[in-house]
Structures are given as structure tokens and as C-alpha cells.
């Protein structure tokens, strides 16, 4: 490459978002996203829907955006220990918070848990989601938010984990999920996960729809959930 070619390359790189600079870690300071406001859907029979959503949450929080995750259907189970690596990590991450509204056990798995209580918890989670969307609507999402503030003060990204499974299981109605989308304020990134069955009712309403497919899973060979990968 000649010196002239190198100068031309450098000038071109200066006009790109990365400007030819290798990424490096920086201190996290409160900031506000410029392009948030889409609806994302992650569904399918494969492992990784919640993991992907939380990964985006960590990425957003790393930019100083306020992120909150509300979990449906995950109140604990006998098959795993009473600890979650993701909860520990979220608690240590500025600007990222979570809450769990699930009933202990897993709906429909005949594990001794009360299906009526699952339904009550799902209804409570729906009401909480509506409350959070209302709070986001009252906040100025074009401005930085207090990273240590409560979610009632608003957030830039809201993850409703397993809400689609709750709808798929009959604990919620698809119309409930659509109403949540209708209530989303401009500037809020809304992430919906769950369901092994395609949520066809969302295909025309979401901006991003990803199917997480299973090609192979060790659980099919009898491997139980592993600490550090599944919880």
C-alpha cells in the first residue's frame, strides 16, 4: 500500500462510526440512546432466548443506558439450585436491574406446583409490565437516566422475559401482548422472549423476530441443567 493509498484509507475510516479505532473498555457514565424504540421478539425451541436478551441488556447498560428485565414464569424450580448467575451479574452491573414474578415450579410440567397460582402470577406480571411501560412513557427517554434509580423512574430498554411463553401457555392472551406493544412509548426498546411455538400474531407488529432453533441439546441425552450455562 502506498502512502497515498494509506492516506485515502485513513480519510475514509474517519467517516465511519468506528473511525478506524480499536474498541476498548471505558467507564460507564449515564447516557441516552439515539436510535432505540424498536420491538424485538425472540422465540423458538432452542436454548439462548433469555441469554440473548440479557446479552443485549448488558451491552446497553455498558453504554450507560438504563435497562430493566421483568421475568415471567421463572420463580425457581426443583431441578436447579436456588441461585442464578445472571442475577448476581446484573446486580453488579450499573444501570441494569431485574425482578421475578414467577411462581415456583413450571406451569404444565406436573411438578406439583399450582397452575392457578401460575395464572395469578402471570396476571400480576402483566399488571407490572403495564406499570413499567407507563413509567417509561412519563420519563424523558432522550436524556440519561439515573443508573441507580428505580425502574419506576423509567428505562431505555425493557426486557419482558418469557412473556411469550405465558401467552403460549394460555396464562395470558395474545391480545395482552399486543396491548403491551401499543403502550410502548417512543424511544423505548422493548424485548419479548419465550414460546416454542411461532407467535404469528407478532410478525407484523415486531421490528425484529428471531427464531432460536435447536439442532442438538444435551438435555435430550439426559444431561441436567448445568450451573454456569443454564443458571
Count of beta carbons in the 10 Å neighbourhood of residue 78: 12
pTM of the shown model: 0.87
12 lies in some domain: no
In Å, what is the CA distance from 208 to each residue of 38, 127, 133? 8, 25, 19
Average pLDDT along the chain: 89
Cell of 17: 462510526
Count of beta carbons in the 10 Å neighbourhood of residue 128: 16
215 lies in some domain: yes
In Å, what is the CA distance from 52 to each residue of 22, 40, 72, 172, 176? 24, 11, 16, 23, 23
* 71-108 pLDDT, tens digit each: 997 655 565 677 788 999 999 999 999 999 865 555 45
113 lies in some domain: yes
The CATH number covering residue 80 comes to 3.40.50.300
3-state helix, strand, coil in the chain (%, to 5): 35, 15, 50
Q: How far apart are CA 219 and CA 205, in angstroms?
A: 33
CB 205 within 8 A of CB 153: no
Summarize the confidence of residues 8-31 as an average pLDDT. Answer: 85
Whether residue 136 has pLDDT greater than 70: yes
Q: How far apart are CA 97 and CA 155, in angstroms?
A: 10
Rounded to a whole number, what is the distance in angstroms from the first to the last CA of the chain?
A: 50
Q: What is the pLDDT of residue 11?
A: 80
Q: In which domain, by residue range, is 165 found? A: 32-221
CB 177 within 8 A of CB 164: yes
* β-sheet bridge partners, residue 98: 69
15 lies in some domain: no
188 lies in some domain: yes
Q: How far apart are CA 115 and CA 169, in angstroms?
A: 11
Number of domains in the chain: 1
199 lies in some domain: yes
Amino acid at each position: 500500500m502506498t502512502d497515498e493509498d494509506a492516506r485515502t484509507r485513513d480519510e475514509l475510516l474517519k467517516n465511519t462510526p468506528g473511525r478506524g479505532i480499536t474498541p476498548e473498555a471505558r467507564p460507564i457514565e449515564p447516557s441516552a440512546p439515539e436510535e432505540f424504540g424498536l420491538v424485538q421478539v425472540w422465540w423458538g425451541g432452542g436454548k439462548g432466548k433469555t441469554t440473548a436478551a440479557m446479552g443485549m441488556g448488558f451491552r446497553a447498560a455498558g453504554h450507560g443506558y438504563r435497562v430493566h428485565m421483568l421475568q415471567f414464569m421463572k420463580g425457581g424450580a426443583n431441578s436447579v439450585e436456588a441461585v442464578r448467575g445472571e442475577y448476581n451479574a446484573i446486580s453488579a452491573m450499573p444501570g441494569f436491574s431485574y425482578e421475578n414474578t414467577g411462581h415456583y415450579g413450571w406451569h404444565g410440567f406436573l411438578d406439583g406446583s399450582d397452575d392457578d397460582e401460575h395464572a395469578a402470577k402471570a396476571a400480576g406480571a402483566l399488571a407490572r409490565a403495564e406499570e413499567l411501560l407507563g413509567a417509561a412513557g412519563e420519563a424523558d427517554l432522550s436524556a440519561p437516566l439515573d443508573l441507580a434509580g428505580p425502574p419506576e423512574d423509567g428505562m431505555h430498554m425493557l426486557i419482558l422475559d418469557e412473556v411469550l411463553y405465558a401467552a403460549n401457555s394460555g396464562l395470558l392472551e395474545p391480545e395482552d401482548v399486543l396491548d403491551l406493544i401499543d403502550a410502548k412509548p417512543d424511544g423505548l426498546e422493548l424485548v419479548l422472549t419465550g414460546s416454542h411455538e411461532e407467535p404469528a400474531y407478532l410478525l407484523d407488529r415486531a421490528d425484529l423476530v428471531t427464531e432460536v432453533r435447536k439442532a442438538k441439546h444435551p438435555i435430550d441425552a439426559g444431561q441436567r441443567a448445568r450451573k454456569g450455562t443454564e443458571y
